[in-house]
Structure 1
Amino acid sequence: MNVVFGANASGKTSLLEAIYLLARGKSFRSAYSRRIVRHEHAELTVFGRIASADGRRHALGIQIKEGKFSAKVNGTFEQKSSRLAALLPLLLISPDGDKLITGSPRQRRRFVDWGLFHVEPEFLSVWQRYNRLLQQRNALLRQKRRDLLLPWDDQLIVAAARLDQYRRDYVDKLARQADHFIRQLLALDTFEFRYQSGWPPGEGYVDSLRSNLESDLRAGFTQRGPHRADLNVRVAGRSAAEVLSGGQQKLAACALLLAQASVFNRHTQKNCIILVDDLPAELDSHRRHNFMQLLYSIGGQLFVTTTDRDSLDLDVFSDKRVFHVEQGSITRENEDGD
């Protein structure tokens, strides 16, 4: 447990952003690489050393210069962000985590696919193949090449079936783990997870793709398929985004992320890093205690930022370090708080 405390705008979140950048190859605060470089500076560099579960050590480096991103692993340039993600599995719990509940289906697909990437060895190649086939089909639709579609459709259908099954199986695993965390954080027992394939329920993808062909030709892209899938979170049969308050939505998202960390641990026999950015500020003392207990139960390396370190119940953590951030400068505190 690493607690990082300091006033607002002191640089706490920037530390988490640097760790996230090493693991994901991007920022969680901005989609534009130029915006995460300090004002009036030309570039940024982040460097870190990690120890894998197998005992091997790796050096990771990220540089953004003139808007261009580059990464190195053990001194060698790396083109694939998936390599970074495999070496440094990481989850983020942040104040805007409610977007996992209220945001776009794309955000929830990414959430599911991150979990699959780490627990299903074949997932990445299947996901990449599906997307390549989808791009090819969309190109033919834009060109109105109806005569060339059938061979690509046959391949797309096979890839879609595998991708869809992977996601269904993973959501089942996630739902089983999420029940415990939702009860602890929300005290609700009526949660339900529904995976939506991306085409009408009860209809096979072969029939759905072909019955929608004329509409796809007019639109110039494929309107149905796993690229339109969603994870529907419901409470008492209604959408969680409609039923839950803003605070409850954040707690529900938190529970999902903790469940994902638990699934990761169970299926890989490893731990992921969990970053928590000021979320305890959203919790009352009882739920804050439950939250810290849940973090402890999951294990792994934790980084938690807060404006008030005394608000965190750290007694359960025997191995903890506390850091103070002021104007971007980080200092470690002694156990007695000095």
Structure 2
Amino acid sequence: MMATVSLVDVAIGPSVGLLPLLALGPAFAALVGGWRRTAAIGLLAMLLTVTLGLYDDLFDGVRGFVSVVSVLGVTAAGLVAVSMRQRREAELASVRSIAEAAQRVLLKPVPRLAGQLRAAVSYTSAVAEARIGGDLYEVVAAPQGVRVIVGDVQGKGLEAVETAAVVLGAFREAALDEADLTAVGRRLSRSVDRQLEGEKFVTAILAEVTDHEVTFLNYGHPAPLLIHADGASALPEPPAYALPLGLSAHAPSAPLPYRADFRPGDQLLLYTDGITEARDGAGRFYPLPERAHLLKEHDPEAALETLRADLLQHIGGPLQDDAAMLLLRYR
């Protein structure tokens, strides 16, 4: 930029008065570089200004001095801006480190092996630069079987994260203590009802995998995708959908458990509505059951990444809602 201004000034002479434009060099340097780079670019701009001012005989009047003051002023302002930007970047890095620590506490990595199951998770937050949001998941290897939860908190932002923490804490405790999945659901519902305020709610699905069978409790959540070893797939739905967690005062009864066969070679995908409600440019929802074949890869993490890439290709842009997927494979 400064080279262009210098060449044009030499070519057309001092009549146009381009020298103050040399201040653009340190101005843009302050946006991307540190104070050393900004100062160096400012010094170079000053040398060019003085050199061209002498070449154009501008110091016989005020124009040369105005150009010098312009470059000095912009360089000084750039150095101040660099200092402020670096301080904000340091604060942002500190906040991000705290957020990552909170993420490790809230959404712990699921165990790769749990009994006869292989587990993998994919999570994408709709908020730019965020790694956690209102979706939640957990896998607990209890004496009675492997128990899992996938849920979606109403709303977004910090309040949704706080609600997700409440649900996960209650589930982790109940999953290890209660004798059956129905008791886990009752305890989880009581805990959420006590701690949620206003009209907040959480859709969730609970699952318990035992020998060759999986039991579900569905609190207003999308039905899971069950893929059998022969490639056939199904969406096991409850006899009747119950209200989400947090709204039990309005529910006539608790959700009823229902079961499905789950044998070696089968896969179970639990997900949030950020997957099935993702739309393409024509408004078509993502056809998850039709994409079951994408989960055939040997590595479950790679299978989920393939499905996630296909989802992003379908919508042709960033997700508008948090999207979580938990894949269980019966080994």
**Into which bin does the TM-score normalised by the smaller protein fall?**
under 0.3
